[in-house]
Amino acid sequence: MGLEDAAAQLQQIQAELSSDSYELNKKNADTEIYRKWATFTIADELYAVDVMQVKEVLRFTDITPVPGAPDGILGIINLRGSVVTVISSRTLFKLEDKEIDHNTRIMVVEFDDQEVLGILVDGVDEVLNLPDSETDRAPGVMHEDTQHQFVQGVCYREEQLIILLDLEKMLAGMKLHIAEAQ
């Protein structure tokens, strides 16, 4: 699936969800609850966040550095007249930097009552409709490590592990990281 197809699918799904069933989809009235997740890669691992928090996905564009910005803050971009701060997912996950390539994307997300932020990821994959029964809560041991504090759960799809992230906790962790650096 190409980026354009994934972006079109994301927009279509957001329109469907915002029309009358905000975050939840029912397969039918008396069965399973499904949730939609936007998937992306960081260091060859597949992650996902609630699709309703993803506003758009951008091809990599020049990021203007901000002098004195803490580690993890790559800089800012101009998004149709709005200034958007871009952070590094790799710094947040305590991973080595990677060269920008044709798959690198900026996921523009919304959190904390209308706050918008760009997250640099290695690639964006697709939107998945996952039943709650296929998702497992994150193992308790994962929460001991800082990078796993924001893991909401995990699931397997076609024999691949998908790590479901709590975007609010993830970005709260980034805010804490910024505050500690100042």
13-49 pLDDT per residue, tens:
766 665 544 445 444 445 788 999 999 999 999 999 9
CB 60 within 8 A of CB 106: yes
**Cα 13 to the center of its chain, rounded Å:** 16
| Residue 140 to residue 137: CA distance in whole angstroms | 9
Task: For domain 3-181, say whether CATH 3.30.1340.30 is its number.
Answer: no
| Residue 49 to residue 168: CA distance in whole angstroms | 10
Answering whether pTM is above 0.95, one says: no
Q: Single out the residue of 137, 157, 146 nearest to residue 37, CA to CA.
A: 157
| Residue-wise pLDDT tens digits, 104-134 | 999 999 887 778 999 999 999 999 998 888 8
CB 32 within 8 A of CB 22: no
CB 77 within 8 A of CB 66: no
